[in-house]
Chains A and B, each alone.
Chain A
């Protein structure tokens, strides 16, 4: 007999309340997680979208790539050895649109590569968020440090750096604007770190953490997510505990008539699984729906992989919470329950 399901059917309100709490906490966690991922994408999609590999910057830059200047000979040496390598630079700046309105962008230039967009001199390729601000293909944009003009060649999806849209420009334009002939970084995809004299290697994760504000921002958001996970775990345990305490008399009688303790454990695990799976299904569905309808300006990215990972964590926590409260069952003496009177 499926005692777990029969109890849920009979005490719908009690289980709906428990399920609502699991739903609310998990939904909140998914939303915060979506925002964290969104902010992370907004901060460094340009880097995060690259495959795993190695970033090299000048070792005297001391981990701050803005200060890195890679000697051209050294760059040539690395690029000769590593065929897929690409040298690139990033600098924050402004573009003036046709109404002379300033748009904050991250200028990116690179050597020829499929990993970065390459444009001809006088052309610019922009992140699509600028399209929403009224900039169109063929528009002419200017920059105070650049003598020429940029003609918008097209738009790319989801390429952001430091919360600003990326603007791919030619090497010549970049060199003129920032008065440098060197690149800041060399990226070698799908490779283990190698020793190059005068260069320091960083993995994707290590490099992301060198970006100012990235690690601080992500650390704070991840702290919120994991606090929510821990708090929800405690809520699970407390609610299952309270439910079980209310049923101690019943469990005692069931044990007295000969029901196995393992059957009682199976009952609370089944209830936990039913309630948690239904609640998580609702919150995953709603958070994915929110992912689709979230306002364009809101940095929100929630993948199925992230929600699946968090859902598994919630299920494990729910299982631990139910088991901890179930330990009470093991301690119940049938005699005590009989003497307690009617439940």
Chain B
């Protein structure tokens, strides 16, 4: 079932007097429980497309439809609420809050998402999810004492603790070594399937494409039709 539709999205940046079109009319739909990988050379527009889809920046033209609501016509506050409750984010770097423990990182996300769970239920949920990503034993650790792979696992747990409908992952393995990258991708795939999350992932690492259900290749601001599979 289609959950997310990107319709004729264009993005233009002004560089001094010159206008540069980064996205030239992108059409895309994302299905529930699928990992869609966006690949392409640097400057192809894949990261820009992901951030527009995630409501982190507006498109110059076009629609981004999520559950039949157009993100482009929503207010900043409406988009924030949507990001907090329905979207999850995993970035190239874990970007954990340095003064919160692993457990608190996840509890904060539940608070941001206005979770209806009671305190003890929240703690239980955090524990369950940390077990799922194999980090339950580091619950009280601060980010400074975690390895890169551990941080990314916590970042993934934080991204899905509030049961988002869509997970946006921007180069989630770029800062990790090959072994850790595979572990993280396996984890992402498993969670996507188990929790029925729609995942849109940007990557430049061809090895990671093996974990995607669908691969979309972009070049010079357009989707290459022949490269959609």
A333 to B56, CA, bound (A): 8
In the complex the two chains form, is B89's CB within 8 Å of A256's CB?
yes
Min C-beta distance of B19 to chain A, whole Å: 20
Q: A6's contact among B51, B87, B99, by CB below 8 Å, is which?
A: B99
Q: How many A-B residue pairs have CB under 8 A?
A: 68
Counting contact residues on chain B (CB < 8 A from A), the size range is 20 to 34
Within 8 A of A (CB), among B82-118: 83-85, 87, 89, 91-95, 97-100, 104, 107-109, 111-113
In the complex the two chains form, is B84's CB within 8 Å of A338's CB?
no
Interface of A is mostly: helix
In the complex the two chains form, is B170's CB within 8 Å of A1's CB?
no
- Indicate with 1 or 0, residue by residue over A249-291, a CB within 8 angstroms of chain B CB atoms: 1100111111110000000000000000000000000000000
A10 — which chain B residues lie within 8 A by C-beta? 98-100, 142
Q: A258's contact among B51, B81, B91, B95, by CB below 8 Å, is which?
A: B81
A260 to B76, CA, bound (A): 11
- Indicate with 1 or 0, residue by residue over B54-92, a CB within 8 angstroms of chain A CB atoms: 001100000000000000000000001101110101011
A338 to B91, CA, bound (A): 7
Min C-beta distance of A109 to chain B, whole Å: 70
A341 — which chain B residues lie within 8 A by C-beta? 92-93
A343 to B97, CA, bound (A): 9
A342 to B175, CA, bound (A): 10
**Given A257-B109, A335-B57; A1-B104 close (CB under 8 Å):** yes
In the complex the two chains form, is B93's CB within 8 Å of A342's CB?
yes
**Given A1-B104, A341-B92; A254-B113 close (CB under 8 Å):** no
A10 to B109, CA, bound (A): 19
In the complex the two chains form, is A258's CB within 8 Å of B85's CB?
yes
B97 — which chain A residues lie within 8 A by C-beta? 3, 250, 253-254
- Indicate with 1 or 0, residue by residue over A214-243, a CB within 8 angstroms of chain B CB atoms: 000000000000000000000000000000
A258 — which chain B residues lie within 8 A by C-beta? 80-81, 83-85, 87, 112-113
Counting contact residues on chain A (CB < 8 A from B), the size range is 20 to 34
A7 at interface, CB cutoff 8 A: yes
In the complex the two chains form, is A7's CB within 8 Å of B99's CB?
yes
Residue of A nearest to B159 (CB): A257
- Indicate with 1 or 0, residue by residue over B163-184, a CB within 8 angstroms of chain A CB atoms: 0000000100001000000000
Min C-beta distance of A76 to chain B, whole Å: 78
In the complex the two chains form, is B99's CB within 8 Å of A11's CB?
yes
A255 to B108, CA, bound (A): 12
A334 at interface, CB cutoff 8 A: yes
Residue of A nearest to B142 (CB): A10
Min C-beta distance of B174 to chain A, whole Å: 10
Min C-beta distance of A315 to chain B, whole Å: 25
In this complex, which of A7, A253, A255 has the most chain B Cβ atoms within 10 angstroms of its Cβ? A253
B99 — which chain A residues lie within 8 A by C-beta? 3, 6-7, 9-11
Within 8 A of B (CB), among A289-343: 333-335, 337-338, 341-343
A256 to B89, CA, bound (A): 8
Within 8 A of A (CB), among B141-175: 142, 158, 170, 175
Min C-beta distance of B183 to chain A, whole Å: 19
A217 to B85, CA, bound (A): 63
In this complex, which of B87, B89, B142 has the most chain A Cβ atoms within 10 angstroms of its Cβ? B89
A257 — which chain B residues lie within 8 A by C-beta? 83-84, 89, 109, 112, 158
In the complex the two chains form, is B170's CB within 8 Å of A256's CB?
no
In the complex the two chains form, is A338's CB within 8 Å of B170's CB?
yes
- Indicate with 1 or 0, residue by residue over A8-43, a CB within 8 angstroms of chain B CB atoms: 011100000000000000000000000000000000
Extra A-B contacts (7), CB below 8 Å, given A3-B100, A335-B56, A342-B175: A10-B98, A249-B95, A257-B83, A257-B158, A258-B112, A259-B84, A334-B56
| A and B contact pairs by CB, cutoff 8 A, 21 listed | A3-B99, A6-B100, A10-B98, A10-B99, A10-B142, A11-B99, A253-B91, A254-B97, A256-B83, A257-B83, A257-B84, A258-B84, A258-B87, A258-B112, A259-B84, A335-B56, A335-B57, A338-B91, A342-B93, A342-B94, A343-B95
Q: Closest 9 A-B residue pairs measured CB to CB?
A: A258-B84, A10-B99, A342-B93, A253-B95, A7-B99, A258-B83, A335-B56, A258-B112, A259-B112
> Which A residues have a C-beta under 8 Å from some C-beta of B?
1, 3, 6-7, 9-11, 249-250, 253-260, 333-335, 337-338, 341-343
> Which B residues have a C-beta under 8 Å from some C-beta of A?
51, 56-57, 80-81, 83-85, 87, 89, 91-95, 97-100, 104, 107-109, 111-113, 142, 158, 170, 175
